[in-house]
Structure 1
Amino acid sequence: MPDGPAIPEPTLPADVAVLHGLVRELLAANHAQQDRIAQLEHRLDQLLKRLHGPRADTVHSNQGTLFGDPPADPPPPVELPPKPSSASRTPSGHGRRPLPANLPRETVVIDIPEAEKLSVGGTWVRIGEETSERLDFTPASLFVRRTVRPKYAVRFDDRPDLIRVAELPPEALPKCSAAPGLVADVIVSKLVDHLPLYRQEKRYARQGYNLARSTLCGWLAEAAGVLAPLYAILKARVLAEPIVHTDDTPIPVRDPAREHCRTGRLWAYVSKAGVVYDATEDRCRDGPLQFLRGFQGYLQCDAYAGYDELFRRSKGTVVEVGCWAHARRKFVEAEKTSPAVAHEAVAGIKALYAVEHAAKGLDPPARAAMRERESGPRLRGMKEWLDRQRATAVPKTPIADAITYVTNQWGALTAYVRDGDLAIDNNAAERAVKPFAIGRKNWLFFGSDRGGRTLATLASFTATCAAFGVNPWTWFHDTLTILPTTPLDRLATLLPAKAT
């Protein structure tokens, strides 16, 4: 029984020149398919790493010499204060750490029973005590704060009686059934501990009161509304600094008009004055253009094309600074398909970071001088090497994309060398958006664009508290308590600040 219809063999042209042309076409098609397969394999590897594997940007240690040249001498060591001698150093040991002195103490006295003292006889004189401490915990609990205002009837002989009662102090959330302490707990639980509202709902139910998720959501929105003037002051302070880092991350937003969530965007802006976030409906350039209106200085960012219009309009008043961590990541992603070139590039970037490590203890002018002396020659050698590699790299491959990224961003990537206040990378902004990658796994999505704006306002304060070592619950509690009685010209004093 035949297996199936026979497949006719292709007829080849008799003309040799035509055959040569056909072979060239087949070879070109084969090369294109191989390139496409390599691209798809690379994309698959990246997706699998994101899904299952570690995200650390690592390469093998056998990276060889730097750009084909002998390794350069390491940068000179930085003069740092001498470390205390072993004789004067407090031994760290591996025992139990002492418990913090700032925590409240609850003292339990265990004395010898009086009957035992009497049975022993003699005179008992207390000469000291043995103490031990263990860390304990009291679960957070709900309670009702009951405010009582005595009401008085004031009677007069010659005029009508009066009814008098003390005035209620002004409140930040007068229509809210929750006091500042509970509102602060909801905010911190969601934005610092990444606890979604449905879990908070269950937690409060265990403590004796059923709070609807919609109620908790309303409290967040109310708090963001009353804190909006402080948010505006924080934004102005962050953008008044000469150096601002920025990055963005996607946030899923529920859209009633669609079956699935759409992707909004959360932008982080970081400077020495703090951290401020902005939420937009998408990633179009209008978001940063509007938020950064009036800003002048260095803007450290990735190579997002939406910033290009900002740099063009600024006419030099906003200077782009690149991120070597982002550039390094490109080469790490190309390691599988082009290991030799990727390793050499990563080794070169590692040498730049070695200079930064050595210059860490220097003041900005000395750091800039060291960069010019140590990193300048390395960067010039790297640029020549990249130009040679770019000429031979196969287009649309991961290594070609990495080389193109760095060469296109060369001016921004080397800007940090000239100013000791600038950073070699944009890690400050990347750290500011990283918590939301954790939060997204718990929140799943935002209910609306208003929810995104609420998040941006409240998260600006939690992130600034974290940057300055301020307890976020204490800050929200105290600020929501005293905000109504704070004059407008004193609002800035309420912002989180470093302890002096």
Structure 2
Amino acid sequence: MELLNKNMNLLLEQLKVSNQARFGSSSEKIDIEISEQLQLCFNEAEVTIATAGEIAEPTIEQVVSGHTRRVKPQGKRDADLEGLPIRVEEHFLSEEKLQELFGGSYRRLPDEVYKKLDFHPATFEVVEHHVAVYCGNKNQTIVRADRPSELLKNSIVTPSLLAAVLNAKYINSLPLYRLEQEFKRYDVNISRQVMSNWVITGSERYLSLLYDRMHDELYKSHVLHADETPFKVTKDGRDTMTNSYMWVYRSGKDGGGPPAILYEYQKTRKSDHPAQFLKEFQGVVVCDGYQSYHKIANERPDELKVAGCWTHARRRFAQLCKALGKEKAKGTLAEAAVGQIAAIYHVDNSLSDLKQDEKLRERQLHVKPLVEAFFTWVKANRHTVPEKSETGKAFTYCINQVNGKPYVYY
């Protein structure tokens, strides 16, 4: 009977997690206050003091403050419209009306000014190039003026038109057939086949160069984040339900500038793909538990190290908390795990403005103990829950990722 109840509880837990994944919110935010998260840390006081900066005693008015009505910020509309072109429209009273009202004795005060926002739909303009042609009177030599470079030879497409097509399809997720219909409303007939050719040829000829340059820049980062996700691609020569994979690589924050993010489409999940992409990279790859990354690190131990991803570790606990609901999740090991990870995030984020050497020193002092304490807690509690339960699986995942080096866990 005990075994039957245990199996029944496991099935109910798995059902709740499955329902949450199918029908629940995809957000992984958990309603736990930072103060509650820090209470789970064994050195809460030390962490709070270290990250607080200069501390000033509050006054009684600050501690027991009455409710104050929030003041609406002044000039917000002007700030929202700042930088947009302005067309001034003036409105007057006729001279006859002014004579009727004031009898000729009046003065004009400062105008009352208000703003409206006008919208102009996309417009098309035909650019007609006239190339001067010259002919010598003596030798009949014909010379033409220089023509500007063309984006695609013998094509009507311009950089702005191709940019609009790329933006509509890949930023706004608008299929080309719908963009074709949109253009027709402006009496512009451009077929989806033509736009497809523009997209592919333009990407191969121009964007591939930018991609390769960004790939080189990615290698300069000491830390990379890598992940892959399955999705379906139709009409690629395989069955419709066959999985393809989009691999994503992102530089870390150690470079200082904006991150470089590159996507790579592959039909399979073979380890050859990340191995080829990362062949010249030396540093730390932050990833999930997929063994392909670990295989690459084992083949190149002096050049590449793998670090576990906190987001993937937290996700398993967070999904269980959301599936159980706020009330039932209270006091569970899953909630405690989410709180401890949130505390690690909180302390580490407070160091984001420090220089690299200072950040490393502060991480060793304040973040490393929290990480080590978390994994000590995981190992102490992993045998208190069934191995096949969602909490048990999450504990196993965390332990399998660290490989005895919790401080490497990013």
Q: Into which bin does the TM-score normalised by the smaller protein fall? A: 0.7 to 0.9
Match of 2:125 among 143, 150, 175: 143
Letter in 1 for 2:350: A
Q: Which residue of 2 aligns with 1:86?
A: none
Q: Which residue of 1 aligns with 2:357?
A: 365
In the alignment, does 2:116 pair up with 1:134?
A: yes
**After superposition, what is the alpha-carbon deviation per residue over 1:145-183, rounded to whole angstroms, capped at 9, x for unaligned?**
22222444x352xx3434343232122222432211111
Q: Which residue of 2 aligns with 1:180?
A: 159
Letter in 1 for 2:153: P
Q: Which residue of 2 aligns with 1:72?
A: 44
In the alignment, does 2:296 pair up with 1:310?
A: yes
Q: Which residue of 1 aligns with 2:201?
A: 222
The question of whether the paired residues in 2 share the 8 Å contact of 1:321 and 1:412 is answered with no
**What stretches of structure 1 of length at least 5 have no aligned partner?**
1-26, 83-90, 418-423, 425-500
The question of whether the paired residues in 2 share the 8 Å contact of 1:75 and 1:358 is answered with no
Q: Report deviation, 1:71.
A: 7.1
Letter in 1 for 2:53: E
* SS in structure 2 of the partner of residue 48 of structure 1: helix
Supply the RMSD in Å over aligned alpha carbons.
3.4
Letter in 2 for 1:79: G
**After superposition, what is the alpha-carbon deviation per residue over 1:432-485, rounded to whole angstroms, capped at 9, x for unaligned?**
xxxxxxxxxxxxxxxxxxxxxxxxxxxxxxxxxxxxxxxxxxxxxxxxxxxxxx
In the alignment, does 2:211 pair up with 1:231?
A: yes
Q: Report deviation, 1:48.
A: 2.3
Letter in 1 for 2:181: K
The question of whether the paired residues in 2 share the 8 Å contact of 1:246 and 1:269 is answered with yes
Q: Which residue of 2 aligns with 1:247?
A: 227
Match of 1:200 among 179, 190, 201: 179
1 CA distance for matches of 2:173 and 2:14? Answer: 30
1 CA distance for matches of 2:381 and 2:179? Answer: 55
In the alignment, does 2:250 pair up with 1:270?
A: yes
Q: Report deviation, 1:362.
A: 3.0
Aligned length: 378
In the alignment, does 2:147 pair up with 1:168?
A: yes
The question of whether the paired residues in 1 share the 8 Å contact of 2:344 and 2:370 is answered with yes
2 CA distance for matches of 1:67 and 1:128? Answer: 60
Match of 2:82 among 92, 95, 101: 101
The question of whether the paired residues in 2 share the 8 Å contact of 1:334 and 1:402 is answered with no
**What stretches of structure 2 of length at least 5 have no aligned partner?**
57-70
**After superposition, what is the alpha-carbon deviation per residue over 1:374-398, rounded to whole angstroms, capped at 9, x for unaligned?**
3333333323322222234322221
Bigger drift between 359-368 and 111-120 goes to 111-120
Identity value in percent: 24
* SS in structure 1 of the partner of residue 85 of structure 2: coil
Specify whether residues 51 and 390 from structure 1 end up closer, same or farther in structure 2 by C-alpha distance, changes over 3 A only: closer
Q: Report deviation, 1:290.
A: 0.5
**After superposition, what is the alpha-carbon deviation per residue over 1:9-32, rounded to whole angstroms, capped at 9, x for unaligned?**
xxxxxxxxxxxxxxxxxx6xx83x
Q: Report deviation, 1:400.
A: 1.4
* SS in structure 2 of the partner of residue 404 of structure 1: helix
Specify whether residues 211 and 172 from structure 1 end up closer, same or farther in structure 2 by C-alpha distance, changes over 3 A only: closer
In the alignment, does 2:402 pair up with 1:410?
A: yes
Higher relative contact order (CA 8 A, sep 6+): 1
In the alignment, does 2:318 pair up with 1:332?
A: yes
2 CA distance for matches of 1:194 and 1:162? Answer: 52
The question of whether the paired residues in 2 share the 8 Å contact of 1:324 and 1:413 is answered with no
Alignment of 1:370-389 (within 5 A): 370-389=362-381
Q: Which residue of 2 aligns with 1:8?
A: none
The question of whether the paired residues in 1 share the 8 Å contact of 2:288 and 2:312 is answered with yes
TM-score, normalised with respect to structure 2 = 0.80
2 CA distance for matches of 1:188 and 1:53? Answer: 31
Q: Report deviation, 1:124.
A: 7.8
2 CA distance for matches of 1:161 and 1:68? Answer: 91
Q: Which residue of 2 aligns with 1:458?
A: none
* SS in structure 2 of the partner of residue 75 of structure 1: helix
